[in-house]
Amino acid sequence: MHLEGGTAFFISWLGTFKLLLFAFGKGPLASHPPISIGRFLAIGCLPIEFQENPPPKSPNPKFETYPSPSKSHPNGQMTQNPPPKSQNLKIETYPSPSKSNPNRQNRENPPQKSQNSKIETNPSPQKAQKLPLNQVIRGILFVILIGVLKYSEHFHQKLVLVLHCLYIYLTLENLLAIVTILTRSLSGLDLKPHFNDPYFSTSLQNFWGRRWNLVAHSILRSAVYEPTRDYSAGVIGREWAPLPAVFGSFLVSGLMHEHIYYCMGRVRPTWEVTWFFVLHGVCLPVEIILKKALKGRCRLPRVISMPLTLGFMVVTSYWLFFPQFIRCKADVRMLQEYGEFATFLKNVIPSFR
């Protein structure tokens, strides 16, 4: 189940779309200058996108102020007093106090300011500490959930529904996290995140566009959304062109999920998964239209919008997304594979002692 489902998702869907985009000079595989063959294969076969380094703002203030004094001026213009300007440049190029402080205050105390600039311009250690902790917590929850699902026949059906939603999320989260950790350890490069805390979603647009499966969202945006939007703009105008583009993206996503389900269960499609994405492909444009009509006058607080969004996701998933998943006993077979893998580890680990 894991090998076939992962292969269908990684290569049959995302890999094929990346190659189609590459044929038109677009997507993550098309880069100028061209990327190496190793990175090309990694991006093509795995659900990853390398995080491009931001423009050299914080790490290279010296290079900006040294050769071009005009850039040190907020308006990019030369002043009429070059000597004082050159003195300020010398002060900026060594500890860079004014660069690190957006208000350009306290220039008379560069040692303290240089310490603050290091804290502001180097947040990576904090992220490096936070990311593994989140992954460890999700891994522990996933192990606990596997043990709980073995006794799902003793629980209420609605509780089992919530557990299945959590199970799908943690399965994808941990699977993609493993791929990310392996790729990052081999390449040493930063990767774009796959999820952004989808349980904090405040709307369907927020859930699908900014929090859920961001790599698949990026590929669908480049391969389906943007071409459909550009074509629709010539028919219905630029203002309403995103609506059919959103629907087309959900329709293609539904068909790709049908393909993944077929590879996992070898069961003839019933098209319920496609209807799940068609439903969301209709509801999300309606949400966009309402937001445009209201123009921010009536916005629900997060305490209300978050439960409504997650509730809608759970109810529609139970109605259309999970029946085919449960019908082919995918959850049971995946739990069996976890048990077989645990038995394999028990037999292999003593041999290394």
What is the mean pLDDT of each successive set of 10 residues along the chain, which is 353 residues long?
Answer: 89 95 92 87 89 51 40 42 44 41 44 41 39 74 83 78 83 86 81 88 94 93 95 92 95 95 87 96 94 83 93 92 84 82 78 56
Q: Please tell me the predicted confidence (pLDDT) of residue 64.
A: 39
On whether both 315 and 280 belong to a single domain, the answer is yes
Helix H, strand E, coil C: the string for the chain is CHHHHHHHHHHHHHHHHHHHHHHCCCCCCCCCCCCCHHHHHHHHHCCCCECCCCCCCCCCHHHHHCCCHHHHCCCCCCCCCHHHHHHHHHHHHCCCHHHHCCCCCCCCCHHHHHHHHHHHHCCHHHHHHHHHHHHHHHHHHHHHHHHHHCCHHHCCHHHHHHHHHHHHHHHHHHHHHHHHHHHHHHHCCCECCCCCCHHHCCCHHHHHHHCCCHHHHHHHHHHHHHHHHHHHHHHHCCCCCHHHHHHHHHHHHHHHHHHHHHHHHCCCCCCHHHHHHHHHHHHHHHHHHHHHHHCCCCCCCHHHHHHHHHHHHHHHHHHHHHHHHHHCCHHHHHHHHHHHHHHHHHHHHHHHC
On whether both 74 and 45 belong to a single domain, the answer is no
Q: Evaluate whether residue 189 is within a structural domain.
A: yes
User: Could you say which of 121, 145, 161 is where a domain stops?
Assistant: 121
User: Could you say which of 70, 103, 121 is where a domain stops?
Assistant: 121
On whether both 303 and 159 belong to a single domain, the answer is yes
Our count of domains for the chain comes to 2
Q: Please tell me the predicted confidence (pLDDT) of residue 92.
A: 41
User: Could you say which of 121, 138, 170 is where a domain stops?
Assistant: 121
On whether both 38 and 68 belong to a single domain, the answer is no
Q: Please tell me the predicted confidence (pLDDT) of residue 114.
A: 41
Question: How confident is the model over 225-252, as pLDDT tens digits?
Answer: 999 999 999 999 998 999 999 999 999 9
Q: Please tell me the predicted confidence (pLDDT) of residue 351.
A: 61
Q: Evaluate whether residue 349 is within a structural domain.
A: no
On whether both 171 and 92 belong to a single domain, the answer is no
On whether both 13 and 143 belong to a single domain, the answer is yes
Alpha carbon separation from 242 to 94, 216, 274, 322, 336 (Å, rounded): 48, 18, 20, 29, 43
Q: Which structural domain range is residue 286 located in? A: 2-50+124-337
- Total-model pTM: 0.72
Q: Please tell me the predicted confidence (pLDDT) of residue 271.
A: 93
